Amino acid sequence: MTAQLPLGLRWPRRQRFEHFHTGANAAALAAMQALATQPGAPWVYLSGAAGSGKSHLLMAACQVAHEAGRTVQYLPLKKLREHFMAIRGVAGSQLIALDDVDTLAGEREAEHALFDLYNRARAEGTALIFTAQVAPAQLPLTLPDLRSRLGACTQFALKPLDDGERREVLKQQAALRGIELDDPVLDWLFARYVRDLGALLDLLDRLDQASLAAQRRVTVPFLRAFLRETGQPSH
């Protein structure tokens, strides 16, 4: 994925606003919806641990803006090697989303490129979205002015869903597929599988297909065998 290609159909199908399970993050969701649909809305900086929904909201905003006819560019900085070149290559869009800006902290050239992009976006009326694991004040940047610029954005520290909320989401999504996930299955799953909601929902998709093919209910033995046979990550 490059910064220069139109985004079109590449967005993950589940990374939309309607699939975001809000929890304690209603204000962040509203701000991202405004940024996606309202030119001139405040820029947003999202922070939070892995699995808190940062990339989900970022991609949802990009997709909505794209569908509304706005030009959009998305930079998954954690997946890019040449941060300096990637940021310097961004131009001509109405919305630019930079995922995982903390990955370029300490790279002087990349920090200067981001500082210049920020100032250019302000002058040109381009909207910016940033995500990182920590708030701007905690980023180990070598460029204090960049930290100041990022700190001027509207900031939200996302709170991941707790286990009870994740269980409810899984139950609801399973019910929509005609699957009953009883408490023993969920207890076993949450004790042995990664707890990132996206990973859990992906697993549910695969379980749905496997249980239909086998004409079996999703029980603990079925789940245990499925994970063993497919080599799914667990702990």
In-domain check, residue 11: no
Q: For residue 27, what are the domain limits?
A: 17-157
**pLDDT recorded at residue 116:** 97
In-domain check, residue 130: yes
**pLDDT recorded at residue 200:** 87
When pLDDT is averaged across residues 102-106 and rounded to a whole number, the result is 95
Are 35 and 128 contained in the same domain? yes
Are 36 and 138 contained in the same domain? yes
Are 123 and 197 contained in the same domain? no
Mapped onto helix, strand or coil, the DSSP state of residue 38 is: coil
Are 88 and 147 contained in the same domain? yes
Count of helices and strands (H, E) across the chain: 9, 5
**pLDDT recorded at residue 5:** 37
Residue 179: phi and psi, rounded to 5, are -105, 135
CA distances to 45, 65, 73, 116, 134 from 150, rounded to whole Å, are 7, 22, 18, 12, 12
Are 100 and 213 contained in the same domain? no
In-domain check, residue 213: yes
Greater pLDDT, 6 or 201: 201
Are 21 and 132 contained in the same domain? yes
**pLDDT recorded at residue 12:** 61
Are 38 and 148 contained in the same domain? yes
In-domain check, residue 9: no
**pLDDT recorded at residue 17:** 92
In-domain check, residue 6: no
Say which residues have a Cβ less than 8 Å from residue 232's Cβ, sequence separation at least 6. 193, 203, 226
Question: What percentage of the chain has pLDDT greater than the value 70?
Answer: 92
When pLDDT is averaged across residues 57-65 and rounded to a whole number, the result is 94
**pLDDT recorded at residue 15:** 81
**pLDDT recorded at residue 86:** 92
In-domain check, residue 12: no
Number of separate domains in the chain: 2
Are 85 and 22 contained in the same domain? yes
**CA–CA distance, 54 with 59 (Å, rounded to integer):** 9
Residue 131: phi and psi, rounded to 5, are -130, 150
In-domain check, residue 7: no
Are 189 and 208 contained in the same domain? yes
Q: What is the pTM of this model?
A: 0.81
Residue type, 149: R
In-domain check, residue 235: no
Between CA 56 and CA 19, with CA 125 as vertex, the angle to 5 degrees is 15
Domain-ending residue, one of 131, 157, 183: 157
Domain-ending residue, one of 132, 157, 182: 157
Neighbours of 229 (CB within 10 A): 9
pLDDT confidence of 13, banded at 50, 70, 90? low
Are 49 and 153 contained in the same domain? yes
Mean pLDDT of the chain: 89
Domain-ending residue, one of 95, 126, 157: 157
Report the CATH number at residue 51. 3.40.50.300
When pLDDT is averaged across residues 46-59 and rounded to a whole number, the result is 92
Are 25 and 133 contained in the same domain? yes
Are 52 and 153 contained in the same domain? yes
**pLDDT recorded at residue 81:** 85
